[in-house]
Amino acid sequence: MRVSLLHYTLPPAIGGVERVVGTQAEALRSLGHEVSLWPAQQKAEFAAALARGAVDAVIVHNVFTMPFDLEWTRELTRLALARKDVLWINWVHDVAAVNPHYAGIPWKEPAPRALHVAVSEARRRDYERAAGLRDIRVIPNGLDMAQVLGLTRRVKELGLESRGLVLFHPARLVRRKNIELGIRVTSALRKAGVDALYLVSGAPDPHQADGRAYHAELCRLAGELGLDDGVRFLGEDGPLCEADVRALYAAADLLFFPSTGEGFGLPLLEAAAHRLPVWCSDLPAHREVLGDGAHFFPANSPPETISAQIMRWWRADVPDACRKSLWRRHDMLKICLEHLEPLLLAHTHDHD
């Protein structure tokens, strides 16, 4: 579908609405739509594109509800009334009529003939009060979460936002890394109803003769515990690059580092730099690196004990739970797929 997005200014101009418009455009392009963006200074060019039938839908961001170019507001109101073959969406971020900062500007502009979308319930109520309309949808703003978090394509494709609790273990497959404990803790978490995913970054250590044997043992253990979709050895698909590892620190819920022996523990520093909560074995080197800045447990702890401790922390960690919830609810591609595209497709079907 050929979709035009309109706003007074566009990226790279800095502003919240500008960022939303740019992100919305990229999301719609990802869904296969042909998207054009038009600022106020190109109003004549937009009108020409509309006149030659090059536009199927127009999403007007704020121009119908703010007073920064009333000539354009009135022109778009007229066009929306005249071009009923085109889908018009009035996307409401701000409402001048209820804003005391614009009290000196008498707002008498009529509501356009369009579908009305507000970015929040608060804005929906504002616009309902200002325009006397009832049929106003709420579609929230969103971000390109993968871009904000710095996710690489490889990490993005893991779909970590859909998992309940992601444990990241950056390690080669050597026995002192105690990876079997991570597998058993993941099993205990899943038995307790948590959709846990255990990500191990490395491949078998080329310097250790039994690396492949250890890998096979770990895969067998994961299978016996029914963790075919609960444990991923990422090194099986080739080595991770530095950007992949950084992305995993950004996207995971906790670092799990249960080694039976370490001389330092560099991932502890990396996790701390990324503000990722750390769960690690209680080794002198780990205490030396992080002091009290981690959740420590004996390396021979029963997995059920560690699982219970993680669950108590996780359920009480409101910021982390909020982050995962926001990631799910405010990813722009997901918002466009679930809320905006149905409006576009409904218009297409109505005009077939």
pLDDT at 111: 84
Segment 194-222 mean pLDDT? 90
All domains in the chain, ordered by first residue: 2-144+331-350 (3.40.50.2000), 149-328 (3.40.50.2000)
Each residue's pLDDT tens digit, 256-283: 999 999 999 999 999 999 999 999 999 9
Q: Taking the alpha carbons of 85, 91, 97, 98 in that order, is the dihedral positive or negative?
A: positive
- The whole-model pTM stands at 0.86
pLDDT at 320: 67
Each residue's pLDDT tens digit, 100-130: 888 777 677 778 899 999 999 999 999 999 9
pLDDT at 326: 84
Half-sphere exposure of 126 (CA within 13 A, CB side): 19
Long-range CB contacts (within 8 A, 24+) of 187-194: 187/225, 187/226, 187/227, 187/230, 187/303, 188/303, 188/304, 188/306, 188/307, 188/308, 189/165, 189/307, 189/310, 189/311, 190/226, 190/227, 190/230, 192/307, 192/308, 192/311, 194/164, 194/165, 194/311, 194/314
53 pLDDT more than 90 = yes
- SS3 assignment, position 239: coil
168 pLDDT more than 80 = yes
- SS3 assignment, position 137: strand
3-state helix, strand, coil in the chain (%, to 5): 50, 15, 35
Mean of pLDDT over the chain: 94
Segment 218-225 mean pLDDT? 98
pLDDT at 208: 73
Segment 174-199 mean pLDDT? 97
Cβ atoms of 195 and 163 closer than 8 Å: yes
Burial class (CB in 10 A: 0-12, 13-18, 19+), 52: exposed
- Tell me how far apart the alpha carbons of residues 175 and 324 are, in angstroms, rounded to a whole number: 32
- Tell me how far apart the alpha carbons of residues 26 and 6 are, in angstroms, rounded to a whole number: 14
325 pLDDT band (50/70/90 cuts)? confident
pLDDT at 199: 99
- Tell me how far apart the alpha carbons of residues 232 and 299 are, in angstroms, rounded to a whole number: 21
- Tell me how far apart the alpha carbons of residues 228 and 230 are, in angstroms, rounded to a whole number: 6
Residue 167 is given by DSSP the state: E
Segment 312-335 mean pLDDT? 83
Segment 165-185 mean pLDDT? 97
Cβ atoms of 173 and 216 closer than 8 Å: no
Each residue's pLDDT tens digit, 24-45: 999 999 999 999 999 999 999 9
352 pLDDT more than 90 = no
pLDDT at 19: 97
Segment 280-305 mean pLDDT? 97
Percent of the chain whose predicted confidence (pLDDT) is above 90: 85
210 pLDDT band (50/70/90 cuts)? confident
Half-sphere exposure of 259 (CA within 13 A, CB side): 24
- Nearest Cα to Cα of residue 186 among 108, 97, 279, 271: 279
Q: Regarding predicted confidence, which is higher, 28 or 206?
A: 28
- Tell me how far apart the alpha carbons of residues 343 and 300 are, in angstroms, rounded to a whole number: 56
User: Strands across the sheet with 278-281, in order?
Assistant: 231-233, 196-200, 165-169, 254-257, 278-281, 295-297
Query: How many Å separate Cα 77 from the centre of its chain?
Result: 34
